[in-house]
Homo-oligomer: A and B are copies of this chain.
Amino acid sequence: MESEMKTDIDVPVKATRVSFDVVEVLRALDGAGVTEVAEELDLPRSTVHDHLRTLEQLELVVNDDGTYKTGTRFLEFGGYARQRMKVFEVAKPELQNLAEQTGEHSNLMVEEHGRGVFLYKTEGQNAVKLDTYNGYRVHLQTTALGKAMMAHMDEENVRDILDRHGMPATTDRTITDEDELFAEFEEIRERGYAIDREERVRGMICIAAPLLNDDEVLGAISVSGPKNRMQGERFEEEIPRQVLRIANVIEVNMTHA
């Protein structure tokens, strides 16, 4: 039972990787002391201390009287990167409309390094509390958003991603079979939107539409809500129609405005 926290890939500058590992541990443990981090990474305390001091001076980490925590400076970089993305700027107001209309969560996801990144989420009046936050990363095939994107990507690219990241299950309904997944892509392309029936989180249903520009996949948007509200005509017709309409608006604004 090893708590595989270290990134075991080989990188040209190893010290940077170690520093980054330290940050990851801090996040995983919700803040920790030098010794705690050292044990987690199986490194000498003094080494970890060097990295923590470095990170603190770079203002990436906060030293709160002995316990170190990840700082908000990451937000600065991330917030900037996001704001620069056109798809975010265009989709944001539309997603707010979508959340208002449906009363549920609405989300924007993009693909990066073969992973699904929640770039933005906003809540309607009835939205339940969710585990996701801005920047949260998931395996693409566990979400309707990810499946909507993959369905419109090159097959070769998709195979690469699946090889690289695998297909781990997060609930007993997560798709873990590659053939099954590709079969669903077919449906998604015909239907125009993707569905997640409790495949990432138990009790949550999600309907997602891709954002396309010719052959390019810009991202995907979705509405998600609890199972008991996502059924019948609302699930079959109303929500999909709303999601597709907004997706179309975003696509148009992306190419024109």
Contacts and interface: CB of A to CB of B under 8 A. Distances in A.
Given A77-B27, A110-B72, A11 B57 contact: yes
A54 B11 CA distance: 5
Given A9-B57, A59-B115, 4 more contacts: A12-B51, A17-B54, A74-B77, A74-B78
Contacts of A12: 49-51, 53-54
A134 interface: yes
B81 A136 contact: no
Q: How large is the interface on A (under 10, 10 to 19, 20 to 34, 35 or more residues)?
A: 35 or more
A249 interface: no
Please tell me how many copies of the chain the complex holds.
2
A76 B13 contact: no
A126 to B, nearest CB: 14
Given A13-B51, A50-B13, A113 B62 contact: yes
Given A51-B12, A72-B119, A17 B58 contact: yes
A243 to B, nearest CB: 22
Contacts of A74: 74-78, 81, 135
B112 A59 contact: yes
B16 A84 contact: no
